[in-house]
């Protein structure tokens, strides 16, 4: 992940996925202000280090909708969904 410094805060230029694209376009600063969280929390979400709780994720989807962007809960929890699907596939495979 490429990082650049901007006003002392890390900002990724290569976040992957629709949520990362949304954070990059809408800006982490603006998102943090809209939902009243620290900007570092938004960076943690965009990097995939943490995920927002359901109420905040719903607020993020609504902010995106009002801004004319297409973002879903699935986009926000994409990494978690992939991990769960991988575990399910692994558990469904017959053992030899």
pLDDT at 48: 82
Q: How far apart are CA 64 and CA 87, in angstroms?
A: 30
- Domain annotation for the chain: domains and CATH numbers: 3-92 (1.10.260)
pLDDT (tens digit per residue) in 45-75 = 988 888 999 999 999 999 999 999 999 999 9
Q: pTM for the full model?
A: 0.73
Nearest CA to 17 out of 57, 48, 39 is that of: 48
Q: How far apart are CA 34 and CA 54, in angstroms?
A: 16
Q: How far apart are CA 48 and CA 45, in angstroms?
A: 5
Confidence band for 14, pLDDT divided at 50, 70 and 90:
low
> Residue 58: CB partners within 8 Å, gap ≥ 6?
73
């Amino acid at each position: 992940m490429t990082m650049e410094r901007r006003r002392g805060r890390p900002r990724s230029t290569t976040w992957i996925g629709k949520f990362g694209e949304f954070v990059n376009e809408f800006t982490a600063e603006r998102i943090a202000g809209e939902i009243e969280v620290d900007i570092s929390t938004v960076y943690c979400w965009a990097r995939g280090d943490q995920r927002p709780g359901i109420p905040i994720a719903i607020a993020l989807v609504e902010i995106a909708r009002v801004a004319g962007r297409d973002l879903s809960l699935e986009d926000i929890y994409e990494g978690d969904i992939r991990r769960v699907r991988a575990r399910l596939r692994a558990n469904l495979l017959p053992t030899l």
